[in-house]
C-alpha cells in the first residue's frame, strides 16, 4: 500500500474504520463459513471481533487479526487427511470454529482493542497495544503449533514429565510444533510492525511477540498436561477431550478440572501472553527504550 493511500485511509474517522472492519470481517467470515472453517456462531464472533479490532485499534490491528485468522484456517485445512488419521480422537472439535473458540482465541485481543480505542492515556494505550499483541501472538503460536506439530514424525512428549504421548494429546510437544509456534508468534509481531510502516527503528515488536507468544504457548501446554479436562472412551479404550466420543459413547472423566476445556485453556494462555507482553513493554519503558507504541494506526 502506498504511503499516500495509507495516510489517507489512516486519516479517516473511527466510524469509517468500523465500516471497513465490518466489511472485511463479514467478507472473510462468509468465506470461512463456506470453506467450513467457521460455524454460524463463529461467524457472529468473527464479525464482532473483527469490526471492534479494526474500528477501535486500527489498520495494523485489523490486518494482524486477519493474518491470524487466514493463516490458522489455511493451516487447519493443510493435510487434513493426515491429521484426521493421526489425532482426530484427541481434538474436541473439528476444523470448524464456533463462537466459544473464537472468543477463547480472539476475546482478549478484542478487549485490548476496545480499551485502546476508548482511552487517551498514552501509557494505557501502550499497554493495551502490548496486551493485544501478546494475546494474538499466543493464539497464532498455539494454532500453528497444534496444526503443524501433529504432523511431526517424532512422537510428542508431555511438557511436564517428558513421557511419550499420542499425537494430539494436550500438553504434548514436539520439536516441529515448537518451531511452528515460535514462527507463528514472531511473524505476528513482524506483520503488526510492518503494517505500522516500520516507523520506529528500535521497535522490538517481533521480539515482544516472540517472547510473549512462546510464553503463552508454553503455559497452554502446561495447562493441557495438568488441569485440562480429559476423558476416556471405554469402548475405544482411548483418551479424548470429548464428553461424547466420536463413536457415540459417553466418555468417563479421566483427569483435570471439569470446566477446564480446550477453550478455557486457550483463553488463559492468551491472558498469559498479554501479561508477559505488557510486563516486557512496561519494563522496556522504564529503561527508556522507545517502543513502537505510538499513533492510532
Q: List the 252-255 sheet strands across, edge first.
A: 238-240, 230-233, 252-255
31 is a contact residue toward Zn ion (CB under 5 A): no
Instruction: Tell me if 293 contacts Zn ion by CB under 5 A.
Output: no
The reply to whether 264 sits near Zn ion by the rule CB under 5 A is no
Nearer residue to Zn ion within complex by CB, 16 or 247: 247
Q: Output b/e per residue, 62-85; b: 16+ Cβ within 10 A.
A: bbbbbbbbebbbebbeeeeeebee
Q: Which is nearer to Zn ion, 118 or 247 (CB)?
A: 247
Window contacting Zn ion (CB under 5 A); options: 27-35, 68-76, 237-245, 269-277: 237-245
> Alpha-carbon distance 174 to 282, whole Å?
32
Give the sign of the dihedral formed by CA 123, CA 124, CA 126, CA 131. Answer: positive
| Smallest separation, CB 236 to Zn ion (Å) | 3
Nearer to Zn ion, 243 or 297 (CB): 243
Applying CB under 5 A, which of residues 128, 216, 245, 291 lies at the interface with Zn ion?
245
- 42 CB burial (10 A radius; 0-12, 13-18, 19+): buried
Report in angstroms how near the CB of residue 49 gets to Zn ion at its nearest: 34
C-alpha cell at 23: 466489511
Q: Does 230 bind Zn ion (CB under 5 A)?
A: no
247 contacts Zn ion (rule: CB under 5 A): yes
254 binding Zn ion? (CB under 5 A): no
**249 near Zn ion, judged by CB under 5 A:** yes
Beta strands in 80-170 (DSSP E): 157-158
**Nearest C-alpha neighbor of 102 from the set 58, 60, 72:** 72
CA distance 125 to 294: 8
Which of residues 233 and 269 has its CB atom nearest to Zn ion in the complex? Answer: 233
Among 109, 229, 233, 278, the residue binding Zn ion under the rule CB under 5 A is 233
The C-alpha atoms of residue 165 and residue 169 are separated, in whole angstroms, by 7
Size of the site for Zn ion (CB under 5 A): 6
Question: How far is it, in rounded angstroms, from Cα 132 to Cα 78?
Answer: 27
> Which one of residues 236, 260, 264, 279 is an interface residue with Zn ion (CB under 5 A)?
236
Where does this chain bind Zn ion (CB under 5 A)? 233, 235-236, 245, 247, 249
Amino acid at each position: 500500500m502506498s504511503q499516500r493511500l495509507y495516510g489517507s485511509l489512516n486519516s479517516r474517522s473511527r466510524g469509517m474504520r468500523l465500516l471497513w472492519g465490518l466489511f472485511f470481517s463479514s467478507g472473510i467470515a462468509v468465506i470461512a463459513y463456506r470453506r467450513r472453517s467457521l460455524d454460524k456462531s463463529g461467524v457472529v464472533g468473527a464479525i464482532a471481533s473483527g469490526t471492534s479490532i479494526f474500528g477501535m485499534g486500527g489498520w495494523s490491528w485489523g490486518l494482524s487479526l486477519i493474518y491470524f485468522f487466514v493463516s490458522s484456517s489455511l493451516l487447519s485445512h493443510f493435510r487434513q487427511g493426515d491429521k484426521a488419521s493421526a489425532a482426530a480422537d484427541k481434538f474436541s472439535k473439528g476444523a470448524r470454529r464456533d463462537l466459544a473458540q473464537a472468543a477463547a482465541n480472539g476475546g482478549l485481543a478484542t478487549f485490548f482493542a476496545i480499551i485502546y480505542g476508548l482511552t487517551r492515556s498514552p501509557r494505557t494505550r501502550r499497554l493495551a497495544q502490548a496486551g493485544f499483541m501478546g494475546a494474538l501472538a499466543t493464539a497464532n503460536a498455539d494454532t500453528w503449533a497444534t496444526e503443524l506439530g501433529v504432523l511431526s514424525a517424532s512422537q510428542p512428549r508431555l511438557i511436564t514429565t517428558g513421557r511419550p504421548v499420542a499425537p494430539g494429546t494436550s500438553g504434548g510437544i514436539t520439536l516441529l510444533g515448537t518451531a511452528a509456534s515460535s514462527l507463528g508468534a514472531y511473524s505476528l509481531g513482524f506483520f503488526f510492525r510492518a503494517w505500522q510502516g516500520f516507523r520506529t527503528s528500535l521497535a522490538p515488536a517481533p521480539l515482544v511477540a516472540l517472547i510473549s507468544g512462546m510464553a503463552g504457548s508454553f503455559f497452554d501446554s502446561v495447562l493441557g498436561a495438568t488441569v485440562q479436562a480429559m476423558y476416556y472412551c471405554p469402548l475405544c479404550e482411548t483418551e479424548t477431550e470429548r464428553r461424547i466420543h466420536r463413536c457415540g459413547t459417553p466418555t468417563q472423566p479421566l483427569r483435570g478440572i471439569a470446566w477446564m476445556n480446550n477453550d478455557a485453556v486457550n483463553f488463559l494462555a492468551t491472558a498469559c501472553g498479554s501479561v508477559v507482553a505488557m510486563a516486557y513493554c512496561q519494563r522496556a519503558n522504564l529503561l527508556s527504550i522507545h517502543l513502537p507504541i505510538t499513533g492510532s494506526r
